[in-house]
Amino acid sequence: MALFMSKSISGFSKLSKAKKIDWIVTTYFSNSEEARTIIEQYWNTDAKIQQLHDEFIENTITNYYLPLGVAPNFLINDKLYTIPMVIEESSVVAAASKAAKFWLDRGGFKTKVLSTTKIGQVHFIYHGDVHKLRAFFKHIKPQLLSDTASITKNMADRGGGILDIELRDKTKDKKGYYQLHVSFETLNAMGANFINSCLEQFAKTLKDGAKSFELFSDEEKKIDIVMSILSNYVPDCLVRAEVSCKVEDLTESDLISGEAFAYKFIQAVSIAEVEPYRAVTHNKGIMNGIDAVVLATGNDFRAVEAGVHAYAARHGRYRSLTHAKVEDGIFHFWIEIPLALGTVGGLTKLHPLVKLALELLHHPSAKELMQIVAVAGLAQNFAALRSLTTTGIQKGHMKMHLLNILNQCGANEMEKQTLTEYFKSHTVSHSAVSEALHHLRSGPGVSG
Ligand code: MEV
C-alpha cells in the first residue's frame, strides 16, 4: 500500500540538493525535521570534500559511513603490511589481525600472481554462411586493431593493450550467436573504461566493415550487434596466496595438538569442497577479508564478487576457494582466486581515503594489490576455520557484537564498561544484554 501512497516525481535529478532533500523528507518521513537532521549530520564539514562525494554518483543527499579499520602485522613475501579494511561486520578486522600475527611468527604469507588477462566481448547475431564470416573476420582483424590504435596507444606504450581477438561461434548455445572474444592486459588499471571503449570501436568497425564485404549477401551484410562489454569473469587474472608451517607449530594452545588441529582444519576445508551449502558460507568468510580491502582501495567489489563466485563454480559445482593439505609433516593452506583490480584510475586519485589506503600499502601495483587482497581472504578463512573447529564462532563473535548491542540499547560509557566486564563470564545474547542493562539501571546491579 505504501508504494501507492508515495508520490512519483519527474525532473528529480534536475532539482538542487536542498530541493531533493525537501522532497524526500516531506514525502517519506513522518518526522521530516528529524530525517533532515540525520541527513545533514552526515555531511562533511569541508565543502570541497562534500562536493567530491556529491559528484561520485547522481542524486546524492548525504554520505553513508562505514568504518575503515586496519589489520597490522601481515608479512607478505617478507614485506610487512598494515592492511586497510572497510567493513561493517564486527570481528572481521580482529580476526584478520590475529591470523596475521599467527603467521608472522611462522614465515608469513607467500604469494604469486599467476596471470593478469582480462576479457571483453562483442556479442552479435549473424544468420549467414559461417565460412564467409570467418573470411570476413580475417579480413577485418587488422582494421579492428588499427581503428582502436588511438585508444590503446598509451596502454601499449606501457606494455599493455589488446592481446588477442578471436571470433567465437556460439551457435550451439543460441541460433546465430557469435562473439568477438577479446583478451586485454590493462597493467595497473582495472581497465573497465579502456576495455569497453575498445569493444565499442570493434563493434562499429565490424558493423561498418560488413556492409562493404563483397563475399556477403545483402542479408549477411546486416550483422546485428547486440552489445559490447567487458566480462567480470576473469579466470585468467589469477593470484595465489599460501601459508605453511610444520604441523607441530600449528597450535598455540595446550587444548589441541598440532596434528589434531591440522586434521580438523583439513576436514573443514574438504567439507567446503564437496558441500555447496557449506562452501557458500566458507567463501563468504573469505569475501569478508577480500571485499573489505577491495572497498578500502576504491575497487569495484561487485565485479570482484561476481567473478570470484563464478570461479568457485567453474567445474559445475560451487566449491571452496581455499585448499589445505599436510605433506611431509608440513601443513599447507592456500587460495587461488581471480581478482581484477586497479591501483590507478577510478576512485584511486579522487577519494582521499582511498589515496590514504593505497599509501598505507606502499602504493602497490595492481599485481601487488592482488596479492595483498588474496592474503586478506586467506587470513580471514584461516581465522574463521580456526574458531569454528576449536572454540566455535559465537564466543569471539558475540564478544565483539556486545558493543553493538549495548549501543543499540543506549548504554552510556559507565554501563558499557560494567557490562563488558560482566559478559566476560556470561553468554552474550540480545535479551541477556538488555536484561542485564535493565538490572543495572534499576538498582541491584549485575553480579556473578
Ligand atoms: C561470518 O561472517 C563468516 C563465517 O560464517 C565464515 C565461515 O563460516 O567460514 C564465520
How do residues 126-139 score in pLDDT, each as one tens digit? Answer: 999 999 999 999 99
Q: In the listed set 173, 196, 230, which residue is the last one of a domain according to the structure?
A: 230
Return the pLDDT at 151.
Answer: 97
Quote the mean pLDDT of the chain. 95
Q: What is the pLDDT of residues 71-96, one digit of tens each?
A: 999 999 999 999 999 999 999 999 99
Return the pLDDT at 424.
Answer: 85
Return the pLDDT at 1.
Answer: 45
Catalytic residue flag (residue 300): yes
* Residues 255 and 379 both lie in one domain: yes
Catalytic residue flag (residue 89): yes
Q: What is the pLDDT of residues 137-170, one digit of tens each?
A: 999 999 999 999 999 999 999 999 999 999 999 9
* Residues 268 and 373 both lie in one domain: yes
Task: Indicate whether 340 belongs to any domain.
Answer: yes
* Residues 132 and 16 both lie in one domain: no
Q: What is the pLDDT of residues 387-409, one digit of tens each?
A: 999 888 777 667 778 888 999 99
* Residues 253 and 382 both lie in one domain: yes
393 pocket-lining for ligand 1 (C-beta < 6 Å): yes
Q: How many A from CA of 310 to the centre of ligand 1?
A: 19
Task: Indicate whether 91 belongs to any domain.
Answer: yes
Residue of minimum CA distance from atom 6 in ligand 1: 285
396 pocket-lining for ligand 1 (C-beta < 6 Å): no
With 90 as the cut, is the pLDDT of residue 37 above it? yes
Q: In the listed set 207, 230, 253, which residue is the last one of a domain according to the structure?
A: 230
* Residues 312 and 407 both lie in one domain: no
* Residues 284 and 251 both lie in one domain: yes
With 50 as the cut, is the pLDDT of residue 308 above it? yes
Q: Which three cell numbers stand for residue 195?
A: 576495455
Nearest ligand 1 atom to alpha carbon 92: 2
Q: How many A from CA of 424 to the centre of ligand 1?
A: 22
Express as a percent the part of the chain with pLDDT over 70. Answer: 97
285 pocket-lining for ligand 1 (C-beta < 6 Å): yes
Catalytic residue flag (residue 413): no
User: What is the distance, to the nearest Å, from the Cα of residue 290 to the centroid of all Cα atoms in its chain?
Assistant: 6
Ramachandran quadrant class, 187 (left: phi over 0; alpha: psi -120 to 50; beta: rest): left
Task: Indicate the range of 38-52, 86-100, 302-316, 417-431 predicted with least confidence.
Answer: 417-431
User: Which of 382, 387, 393, 397 has the most ligand 1 atoms within 8 A of CB, as the residue to mutate?
Assistant: 393
153: domain CATH number is: 3.30.70.420
229 pocket-lining for ligand 1 (C-beta < 6 Å): no
* Residues 122 and 216 both lie in one domain: yes
* Residues 1 and 109 both lie in one domain: no
* Residues 171 and 210 both lie in one domain: yes
Q: What is the dihedral of CA 159, 161, 165, 171, to 10 degrees?
A: 130
**In the chain, how many domains are there?**
4
Q: How many A from CA of 414 to the centre of ligand 1?
A: 32
Task: Indicate the range of 27-41, 177-191, 243-257 predicted with least confidence.
Answer: 243-257
Task: Indicate whether 270 belongs to any domain.
Answer: yes
Residue of minimum CA distance from atom 9 in ligand 1: 282
* Residues 102 and 133 both lie in one domain: no
* Residues 287 and 380 both lie in one domain: yes
Q: How many CB atoms lie within 10 A of CB 409?
A: 16
Return the pLDDT at 447.
Answer: 62
Task: Indicate whether 274 belongs to any domain.
Answer: yes
Q: In the listed set 205, 230, 255, which residue is the last one of a domain according to the structure?
A: 230
Residue range 424-434: average pLDDT?
Answer: 89
- Close Cβ partners of 129 (under 8 Å, ≥ 6 residues apart): 220
281 pocket-lining for ligand 1 (C-beta < 6 Å): yes
Residue range 229-234: average pLDDT?
Answer: 98
Task: Indicate whether 448 belongs to any domain.
Answer: no
Catalogue the long-range contacts made by 51-54 (C-beta closer than 8 Å, 24 or more residues apart): 52/350, 52/351, 52/352, 54/17
Return the pLDDT at 448.
Answer: 57
* Residues 424 and 350 both lie in one domain: no
Task: Indicate whether 108 belongs to any domain.
Answer: yes
Domain holding 9, by residue range, is: 1-65
Task: Indicate whether 447 belongs to any domain.
Answer: no
